Structure 1
């Protein structure tokens, strides 16, 4: 009986030892399996990251439609000799404004004083300024920038300090869009009648300022006649822009562009066009007095 009990105890110990060895042998297999599983997940994550990076690099960069016009005509040659003779008959030559990039902004002005002695004098001042915009991913298409500047120029002309009897009207047949603004401005020398025509053709804005006054007792010029001459000159200046770009003046005939009807370089805008417009309302009060 005692021997049998001892054999049974040895058998039980052997069985327990066998189970321990089997479990110990199974542990590395589990670890290996777990390790393979972990490596597989890491590989999938790396592949996905690589694919995402490749997809991002393959995406196209933002683009914007190129500007239609790439240059401007010579500012002092935008108007014909006949037109200058009609508007500023006593002017000998135009004065070209300063510009660090004549392909983007330019202007020219003319003075005319017809001195009739004790009978008085007739003064005329004419200025043509042009501003060309370039397409830019940040600021948008060139024609949209030009349209926004066109609207600002019209608003500025309508809000001149001291202006009286301000009127505005569209000017058909001049570029893609054009607006004429007229008003009277009283100075110590007399009443100056100002006409401003702002026109846009593609990505270029043309601003034409024309004013006149009767000085030293001479009668004031007709505002209607001045406006008629200003519109004619503005149309001619717009055609010069188109011709300079090989467009044959087509936009001057009134053919609309494909740009939207409601569509901003920034500092260049004010340098080229706002200063001449400002001079139009200020210079007459000084220059005639010096000459008469």
Structure 2
């Protein structure tokens, strides 16, 4: 292994989650005859009466209202103290916001940097967080249900990470309404990276957080426990920020 790796190899890649698939529901209704039957002559009278029998009116579908109407300012959803601890030498201390065409529905922010410890090697860290908010819609379902469905889709994407080794998924407790933690290892830039992704649903909002790191120039790869504990601390702050933004 060389003394240090070129920093150009530590490129930042923030993947935007896919826009949820929109489901279209179609309904039909029929008008009923006030009289309940029509007048006919001879043999047609019975048939006419049957065809005029009113059909039940279709009830209007209702869904629960979305719990949260706003998203927090993403780059401030995790405290500066926490980001400084998790990414000691972040290139941008205040975070780099992700491009979004609608900040009321989606947003993201990331921090990354290399902490050079001289002869003891270097430590690289990357932290990113994304928020997705879903409205309630009679055709698509409640915001909470839509967030639940998309949590499953995002979890499947993480679990299918190309090249992931020792991947493990567990249910995370005490965070939001439901949460999953995924840990795995990935070989990149000739180094072993430790990854933890935590996916949380809080009401009608998804919070997706990823934290990873690697040792360079002879430094050890951070332990799974170190990365997972750091990710848990950050995601709890991000979930709390959603509630705070809607007070």
Q: Which TM-score applies when normalising by structure 2?
A: 0.75
| Equivalent in the alignment of 1:61 | 60
Equivalences for residues 240-251 of structure 1 within 5 A: 240-246=241-247
1-side partners of 2:75 and 2:98: how far apart?
A: 9
Structure 1 window deviating more from structure 2 (215-224 vs 59-68): it is: 59-68
1:67 Cα deviation after fit: 0.7
Tell me the secondary structure at the aligned position of residue 39 of structure 2: helix
| Equivalent in the alignment of 1:16 | none
1:74 Cα deviation after fit: 0.6
2-side partners of 1:64 and 1:179: how far apart?
A: 26
Unaligned runs of 5+ in 2: 1-37, 41-47
1:52 Cα deviation after fit: 6.4
2-side partners of 1:77 and 1:198: how far apart?
A: 19
User: Is the 2:80–2:94 Cα contact (8 Å) retained in structure 1?
Assistant: no
* Count, aligned residues: 201
1:71 Cα deviation after fit: 1.0
| Equivalent in the alignment of 1:78 | 77
1-side partners of 2:39 and 2:188: how far apart?
A: 85
Equivalences for residues 22-171 of structure 1 within 5 A: 41=39, 61-91=60-90, 92-171=93-172
1-side partners of 2:170 and 2:233: how far apart?
A: 15
Unaligned runs of 5+ in 1: 1-39, 247-292
Tell me the secondary structure at the aligned position of residue 242 of structure 2: helix
1-side partners of 2:153 and 2:144: how far apart?
A: 14
Tell me the secondary structure at the aligned position of residue 146 of structure 2: helix
1:196 Cα deviation after fit: 0.3
Tell me the secondary structure at the aligned position of residue 213 of structure 1: strand
1-side partners of 2:159 and 2:61: how far apart?
A: 38
1:81 Cα deviation after fit: 1.4
User: Is the 1:171–1:231 Cα contact (8 Å) retained in structure 2?
Assistant: no
Q: Is the radius of gyration larger for structure 1 or structure 2?
A: 1
> Are residues 41 and 158 of structure 1, via their aligned partners in 2, closer, same or farther at CA, if it must alter by over 3 Å?
closer
